[in-house]
Structure 1
Amino acid sequence: MTKPISELLDAAARRAVPVVRGITEDQLADPTPCAEYDVRTLTDHLIQVLINFQKLAAKQESDFGAEPHYMDGDWRSRFADEADALVAAWAAPGAEEGTTGRMGFPARTVANMALGDLTVHAWDLARATGQDFTPDPAVVEEIEPALAELAPMAHKGGVYGEPVEVGQDASAFDRVLGLTGRDPHWRP
């Protein structure tokens, strides 16, 4: 049986929040596996992602093109609060039904984009800051086929980097990382 997306988002958030809380101020300018982002800008982007996907759960318009500015004040708690709000938004009645967003994707597809971003970017931040990160197995089971289906469009639109070959014996999560343009062995 397919798990409700809110349960999967909760599992992903429980793995991501400690990573964000573990980022120190002196690491904010460090590079990440996302070449265009340092730790600060990736964390800022991820908070924006959480906020925008809350809106999409409620079938509202989102703006991923706006420049994020969420790193003032207690951004670690802000991240945790927005992650909780994301889970609640996708647990609301009707959130997984119908379509949402400008492109009119099925709501579950959009939710899987949020799940993928939360999980992959948590890995990015963990890797960049020397923290351990192991995604929830049920989350990986959900996002691997979902992101593979979205990959051609994501590569064409520049959302994912060029795929990284990971080998046939790679773990499911390493395949996700490679699909999204990340080298699973990346180190700062």
Structure 2
Amino acid sequence: MESHDSTTHPHHPYMRACAAEAARVARGVTADHLDRPTHCGDWDVRALVNHWVLYTSHGLEHRALRTPLPEELTKRDFTAAPDWADAYAAQLDRAVTAWADPALWEGDIDLGMGPLPAADLAGMVIKEMAVHGWDVATATGQPFRVPDAAAHFVLGVVKTHGALYRQYDGFADPVPVPADAPVFDRALASSGRDPKLSA
């Protein structure tokens, strides 16, 4: 069983692991990659990265602070800055550090569509880091790897909230994979992503 710092929430290590891999993948995205297509609808890499950066770093911190995302951030092209990947890594660090306080995982957070348990909302953002991280990695010819413990957590989030994501076309129908497939492959497949596309 994976150990964790007793002063943090048990899921915080999964957030930290997925954030570290997201930052690594971001640094592997070049300007030449940004106009490439992805398998996320009609989004190219630029649109996907902007969504990923907005919600998994800025959005994650604002959820910890219980404050709305500033409208300016929702319209920003993060990839227009030459150092966007380093800025993303720094913002991820701030967000993950904010969630180190276990008290922030308690109670509810209301994003304007009704309250959600803070721990569930944090888990959904961890899932976004991982599955959209894989989307970015796959579109740019990179691997995306997380520890099995984090992958098991992501799989649980995908299964718990899959019906909700499919209502908004966030997930496609599950992709069949062997029962003994690696756990992150099962998480991807459950979210409608084909793990065979992995770099």
TM-score for both structures, normalised by structure 2: 0.84
Q: Which of 7-16 and 110-119 deviates more?
A: 7-16
Matched AA of 1:98: G
**What do the CA deviations read for 1:15-41 (whole angstroms, capped 9, x no partner)?**
111111011111111122323321111
Distance 1:181 1:117 in 2: 14
On the 8 A contact 2:151/2:184 being kept in 1, the answer is yes
Give unpaired runs (5+ residues) of structure 1. Answer: none
Kept in 1, the 8 Å contact 2:105–2:118? The answer is yes
Which of 89, 94, 115 is 1:80 aligned to?
Answer: 89
The CA deviation at 1:63 is: 7.3
Q: More displaced, 113-122 or 171-180? A: 171-180
| Equivalent residue number for residue 56 of structure 1 | 63
1:45 and 2:54 aligned: no
Render the CA deviation track for 1:116-153: whole Å, top value 9, x for unaligned. Answer: 01111111111111112211222112121122111111
Shift >6 Å, 4+ stretches: none
Partner SS state of residue 105, structure 2: coil
Instruction: Return the alpha-carbon distance in structure 2 between the equivalents of residues 106 and 20 of structure 1.
Output: 29
Q: Distance in 1 between matches of 2:22 and 2:186?
A: 19
**SS of residue in 2 equivalent to 1:169:** coil
Residue range with higher mean Cα deviation, 77-86 or 87-96: 87-96
Equivalent position of 1:69 in the other structure:
77
Alignment partners' CA distance in 2, 1:115 and 1:72: 25
1:19 counterpart residue number: 25
Q: Quick one: structure 1 residues 98 and 177, their matched pair in 2 at CA, closer, same or farther if it must change by over 3 Å?
A: same
Show the counterpart of 1:28: 34
Where 2:104 maps in the other structure, the secondary structure is coil
Deviation larger for 14-23 or 65-74: 65-74
Unaligned runs of 5+ in 2: none
Partners of 1:133 and 1:187 in 2: how far apart? 8
Q: Is the 2:137–2:144 contact (alpha carbons within 8 Å) kept by the matching residues of 1?
A: yes
- The residue type equivalent to 1:166 in the other structure is V
- Greater CA drift, 96-105 or 55-64: 55-64
User: How much identity, in percent, do the aligned residues show?
Assistant: 31
- Seen in structure 2, the aligned counterparts of structure 1 residues 123 and 168 have a Cα distance that, compared at 3 Å, is same
On the 8 A contact 1:33/1:186 being kept in 2, the answer is: no
Checking the alignment, whether the CA contact within 8 Å between 1:30 and 1:39 is kept in structure 2 is: yes
TM-aligned CA deviation for residue 68 of structure 1: 4.3
C-alpha spacing 1:54/1:158, structure 2 compared with 1 (3 Å): same
Give the Å deviation of 1:81: 1.2
How far does residue 54 in structure 1 lie from its aligned partner after superposition? Answer: 1.3
Match of 2:128 in 1: 117
**CA distance in 1: counterparts of 2:26 and 2:186, whole angstroms:** 24
